[in-house]
Amino acid sequence: MDTRRKSARATTLLAALAGIAAAALLLGVAELAAAFFTARATPVIALGSTFIDFTPGWLKDFAIATFGTGDKAALFVGMGLTITALAAVLGITAYHRWVLGAVGVTAAGLVIVASVLSRAGASTYDALPSLIGTAAGLLALRLMIARLPAARAVPSDSAPSDSGPSDSGPSDSAPAGMASSPAAARALPGASSRRSFFAAAGITAAAAAAAAAGGRALGSVRNSVEAARRSLRLPAPASPAPVLPAGLEAPVDGVVPWLTPNPDFYRIDTALSVPQLDVDTWELRVHGMVEEEFTLTFDDLLEEDLIERHITLTCVSNPVGGNLVGNAKWLGYPLRDLLRRARPLRGADMVLSTSSDGFSASTPLPVLLDGRDAMLAVAMNDEPLPLEHGYPVRMVVPGLYGYVSATKWVVDLEVTRFADRTSYWTDRGWSEKGPIKTMARVEVPRSFGKVAAGTVQIGGTAWSQTRGITRVEVSVDDGRWEEVTLAAEASVDTWRQWHHEITVGPGSHTVRARATDPADGVQTDERADPVPNGASGWQSVQFTAS
Ligand SMILES: Nc1nc2c(c(=O)[nH]1)N[C@H]1C(S)=C(S)[C@@H](COP(=O)(O)O)O[C@H]1N2
Ligand SMILES: [Mo]
């Protein structure tokens, strides 16, 4: 074999190697990102499940029969070999035709995304780690390929080129199309090219290993926190939640459940990665303008008399008709009891709560003492708080938007004055005070939905925490306001469902809704954006009847 052909072989091998290194980086970075964002499904595991789904039955039976309990290991070995082979082919493809290779890598990335999204409980957000990994893999592949001699220089096995230079650099006579090949554009001559390639490949492999190890480490911390959370025994409440009345839910299909299941509860926070707190070391420091400063451990907290209440949380960023609102049963230590123990000094008017990740909220002190069920919550719907919802302890204050009250992963309470201290969102232009505005929401029919003409069931939810809902009215096609039927009310701190029957002919229609609370009357029709203290206005929903 002549040297030229030998070197062509070697270059092809290096391209394959580049593909494999890039694939390793893709998966490593995806795993790291998944651990970092605490995605519900991690890319490699999701891919493994997809792999199982597509493994023919006879092969599965064979694997179980042959490997027994080692069948999972066999799965990952099989998957590893498949990925390696595919990555090698994609590396070689990318070397010869970059675009084709890049399309192949992207397609492989999308297979991982599809695997992740098809797992139970996954949200679209969980696609992010795989996409980040794919971008990293593509970038690394491009950088490595660019360090190989131009593809033109590599004669094919059957018809060795007699004109091109070997691996001594890009050909002057390369066709115009070659300019788009990174190899042609960036190849370095001879040995320095090889060295530079191996440097790039080495860095890629090292980065892949580091990312995978980092993902592992992060994942195991998370698993141990999750395991601790699962094994946590919560005490019975000294004051259980009032018995729920019958008829809390409007008899209309499509109205959201009255009690929001934890996995469906909206999540809003500034935490890039979910804090992983340990109940054994968690402490809450209570200090500032108080007669008695103290520190609570998690065990201290559980020994207090806990209350259990249904409370509807709302985000100030919720647009009119939006879904940044949820209703759960919370178990916690009343903040008025904690403050009674601390004995705030005269002049104090605010409690600044701070989370382990540096978020803070400023809550008016009078609100925490006025008798409402503000609490340091440890459980949500009979479970320890989910990690994303503030495990192990968060604040819940009926009637205030979350940004001024609902600090998750809370570790510090400072009794102070609005004149002295500010908080995360008030520093960014949002109002100091954030009482929740009265709001009626139309859930059925859906916006731009289609219904059959004739009798149409409509329904939704209304809230006015701490005040309650006494009436909801709707107006169809700008007609007179009609009072709807209210479902039962659990408490003034929870939302309330409503429903109504209307009759419409074929065509396009609008339905508007507005709620009344006993303190403030009819909700304002004045349109306001969420900034600086919550959206207002009557929601209007368009739908078509046919
Ligand atoms: N630590 C921390 N707590 C936080 C936030 C945050 O960014 N960080 N966001 C607040 C806001 S704006 C809202 S609306 C609620 C949302 O709580 P949830 O994610 O449990 O629904 O949490 C509040 N608590
Ligand atoms: Mo919020």
Instruction: Find the CATH number of the domain harbouring 405.
Output: 3.90.420.10
Q: Is the CB of residue 258 below 6 angstroms from any atom belonging to ligand 1?
A: no
pLDDT at position 152 is 53
Smallest CA separation from ligand 1 atom 18, residue? 267
Question: What's the 533 CA to ligand 2 centre distance in angstroms?
Answer: 10
State the average pLDDT over residues 40-48. Answer: 81
What's the sign of the alpha-carbon dihedral 108, 110, 116, 119?
negative
Same domain? For 191 and 44 the reply is yes
State the average pLDDT over residues 434-452. Answer: 97
Same domain? For 304 and 407 the reply is yes
State the average pLDDT over residues 132-149. Answer: 94
Q: Is residue 176 part of a domain?
A: no
- CATH classification of the domain holding 448: 2.60.40.650
Same domain? For 348 and 203 the reply is no
> Is residue 333 within 8 Å of 306, Cβ to Cβ?
yes
Higher pLDDT, 204 or 223: 204
Lookup result for tokens 């990690």: 387
- Which of 428, 456, 479 is at the close of a domain? 428
28 pLDDT band, cuts 50/70/90, is: very high
Same domain? For 360 and 394 the reply is yes
H helix or E strand, kind and range, residue 460: strand 454-463
Q: Is the CB of residue 333 below 6 angstroms from any atom belonging to ligand 1?
A: no
Same domain? For 325 and 395 the reply is yes
Q: Is the CB of residue 79 below 6 angstroms from any atom belonging to ligand 1?
A: no
Question: What's the 395 CA to ligand 1 centre distance in angstroms?
Answer: 9
Give dist(CA 129, CA 116) in Å, integer: 10
Q: How far is CA 155 from the centre of its chain?
A: 50
Residues across the chain: 546
pLDDT over threshold 70, residue 542? yes
Q: Is residue 60 part of a domain?
A: yes
* Beta bridge partner(s), residue 503: 455
Question: What's the 402 CA to ligand 1 centre distance in angstroms?
Answer: 6
189 pLDDT band, cuts 50/70/90, is: low
Which atom of ligand 1 sits closest to the CA of residue 268?
A: 19
Percent of the chain beyond pLDDT 70? 90
pLDDT over threshold 60, residue 21? yes
Q: pLDDT tens across 353-380, in order? A: 999 989 999 999 999 999 999 999 999 9
Ligand 1 pocket mutation pick from 123, 268, 325 by most atoms within 8 angstroms of CB: 268
Question: What's the 216 CA to ligand 1 centre distance in angstroms?
Answer: 27
State the average pLDDT over residues 204-228. Answer: 89
pLDDT at position 169 is 36
Query: Does the N-terminal peptide bond of residue 445 adopt cis geometry, omega within 30 degrees of 0?
Result: yes
Smallest CA separation from ligand 1 atom 9, residue? 269
Same domain? For 367 and 514 the reply is no
Give dist(CA 223, CA 218) in Å, integer: 9
Q: pLDDT tens across 396-426, in order? A: 999 999 999 999 999 999 999 999 999 999 9
Q: Is the CB of residue 268 below 6 angstroms from any atom belonging to ligand 1?
A: yes
pLDDT at position 301 is 97
Number of domains in the chain: 3
Percent of the chain beyond pLDDT 90? 74
Q: Is the CB of residue 428 below 6 angstroms from any atom belonging to ligand 1?
A: no
Same domain? For 59 and 191 the reply is yes
Give dist(CA 330, CA 333) in Å, integer: 10
Which atom of ligand 1 sits closest to the CA of residue 267?
A: 19
pLDDT over threshold 70, residue 69? no
pLDDT at position 121 is 66
Q: Is the CB of residue 355 below 6 angstroms from any atom belonging to ligand 1?
A: yes
Q: Is the CB of residue 41 below 6 angstroms from any atom belonging to ligand 1?
A: no
Same domain? For 473 and 369 the reply is no
State the average pLDDT over residues 297-309. Answer: 97
- Which of 399, 428, 457 is at the close of a domain? 428
pLDDT at position 172 is 36
pLDDT at position 60 is 74
Ligand 1 pocket mutation pick from 269, 411, 436 by most atoms within 8 angstroms of CB: 269
> Is residue 255 within 8 Å of 444, Cβ to Cβ?
yes
Ligand 1 pocket mutation pick from 354, 408, 424, 426 by most atoms within 8 angstroms of CB: 408
Q: Is the CB of residue 270 below 6 angstroms from any atom belonging to ligand 1?
A: yes
Question: What's the 403 CA to ligand 2 centre distance in angstroms?
Answer: 5
Same domain? For 408 and 303 the reply is yes
Identify the CA nearest to 460 among candidates 477, 476, 473, 448.
473
pLDDT at position 168 is 36
pLDDT over threshold 80, residue 183? no
Q: Is the CB of residue 400 below 6 angstroms from any atom belonging to ligand 1?
A: no
pLDDT over threshold 90, residue 456? yes
Same domain? For 305 and 450 the reply is no
pLDDT over threshold 60, residue 174? no
Name the residue range of residue 537's domain.
439-545
> Is residue 99 within 8 Å of 181, Cβ to Cβ?
no
Higher pLDDT, 41 or 440: 440
pLDDT over threshold 60, residue 185? no
Q: Is residue 163 part of a domain?
A: no
Q: Is residue 52 part of a domain?
A: yes
pLDDT at position 167 is 37
Q: Is the CB of residue 403 below 6 angstroms from any atom belonging to ligand 1?
A: yes
Q: pLDDT tens across 237-275, in order? A: 999 999 999 999 999 999 999 999 999 999 998 876 788
Q: Is the CB of residue 471 below 6 angstroms from any atom belonging to ligand 1?
A: no
pLDDT over threshold 50, residue 222? yes
Q: Is residue 97 part of a domain?
A: yes
Q: pLDDT tens across 318-329, in order? A: 999 999 999 999
Give dist(CA 252, CA 486) in Å, integer: 12
pLDDT at position 51 is 82
Q: Is residue 434 part of a domain?
A: no
Smallest CA separation from ligand 1 atom 6, residue? 269
State the average pLDDT over residues 176-205. Answer: 66
pLDDT at position 119 is 77
pLDDT at position 191 is 65
Residue 128: strand, helix, or coil: helix
State the pTM of this model.
0.75
pLDDT over threshold 50, residue 91? yes
Q: Is residue 108 part of a domain?
A: yes
pLDDT at position 180 is 45
Same domain? For 207 and 117 the reply is yes
SS (H, E, C) 407-439: CCCEEEEEEECCCCCCCCCHHHCCCCCCECCCE
Same domain? For 7 and 129 the reply is yes
Q: pLDDT tens across 271-290, in order? A: 767 889 999 999 999 999 99
Q: Is residue 213 part of a domain?
A: yes
When the pLDDT of each residue in the chain is averaged and rounded to a whole number, the result is 89
Q: Is the CB of residue 196 below 6 angstroms from any atom belonging to ligand 1?
A: no
